[in-house]
Amino acid sequence: MKIAVVGATGLVGSKMLQVLNEQNVRFDKLIVAASERSVGKAITFQGKPYKVVSVDDAIAAEPDIAIFSAGADASRQYAPRFAEKGTYVIDNSSAWRMYDEVPLVVPEINPDTITRGTHIIANPNCSTIQMVLALAPLHEAFDIKRLVIATYQSVSGSGLKGINQLNNEELTHYDGDRSGVVRYVTTSKPAYPHQIYRNILPHGGDFCVNGYTTEEEKLVNETRKILRAPKIAITATVCRVPVTGGHSEAVNVEFNRPFELEEVRRLLEQQPGVVVQDDPSRNLYPMAITAFDKDEVFVGRLRRDFSVANGLNLWVVSDNIRKGAATNAVQIAQYVIQHIL
């Protein structure tokens, strides 16, 4: 059993290696690959050094599984070449998600979409993964009619560049007036067009011609595909907040069928991968800081929306680098090892 991690030196790639270790995934050989500028560097895994190789060399090694976190362009270029060798590619980018023939997988929901012939498997967007994990049992029980979503996404969703911008702005002296505006010129290109420190940007991804952003479009399209519900009405607003790690989402759901809150709670508590944190009397609700470096999706603030029939509000939080990327990909790899190979 040979596993390759492509993009192993990046933020998500390094977390994938950590999760592979923690989950005790069975394999005989590990191949760590990255861009040319990283080739030859050493990565330590389970106390042993591994030399970073080129993607071409990783393809030549013909791994059974290749977990990708190298960006959409690299995935479009290299994933088909791995697939031609019989490798099962698990891709974390947006490159393949909306192809009909490519399964878009959250293992707790739709692993059955993976077959022996699907050699490219897409990992959904981080904000989509955590939301659909909470919504899947509710959709099955009550049939979702409409979703209104507002996300509060951490800077780690923009990779190291986002984290570095926030850290640089926090460390930079700003004038002491009430505005808190940072007065400096960064030495590297920032991740965002505006200051993120002490600020919120209603801007995730690139703007589309319809006024929405690519991150908002992902929430719409990926949710429909994963839940196999193309008729759900969905609208979303994505915001970037000055939090290092962990995405938070306010999700308003309108169902076609009536529900009881206790049944909603029971279904969420029974859903694998979901932890309900919902006790207002103790100020217990999900937060990014307590979800950090955890694999679960945390759900709370459960309450009926009295403005519509069959309406529900919930608050969903998860570590976007773990369950939103690395952990979900490793779970897919485990499924492939156990059920496909």
Catalytic residues: 126, 247
Distance of CA 187 to the CA centre of its chain: 29
Q: How many CB atoms lie within 10 A of CB 175?
A: 10
Amino acid at 53: V
Only one residue has tokens 């012939």, namely 117
Give the integer Cα–Cα distance in Å for 253 and 255.
6
Can you count the helices (H) and strands (E) in the chain? 9, 13
Q: Tokens 């920032």 belong to which residue?
A: 190
Taking the C-alpha atoms of residue 318 and residue 126, their distance in angstroms, rounded to an integer, is 9
3-state secondary structure of 331: helix
Side-chain half-sphere CA neighbours of 22 within 13 A: 14
| Pairing of β 2-6 and β 233-240 | unpaired
Q: Which of 185, 65, 132, 159 is nearest to 299 (CA)?
A: 132
Buried b (16+ CB within 10 A) or exposed e, 112-128: eebeeebbbbbbbbbbb
Closest CA to 30 of 15, 38, 20: 20
Q: If DSSP codes are grouped into helix, strand and coil, which group holds residue 153?
A: strand
Structure tokens at 300: 């709370």
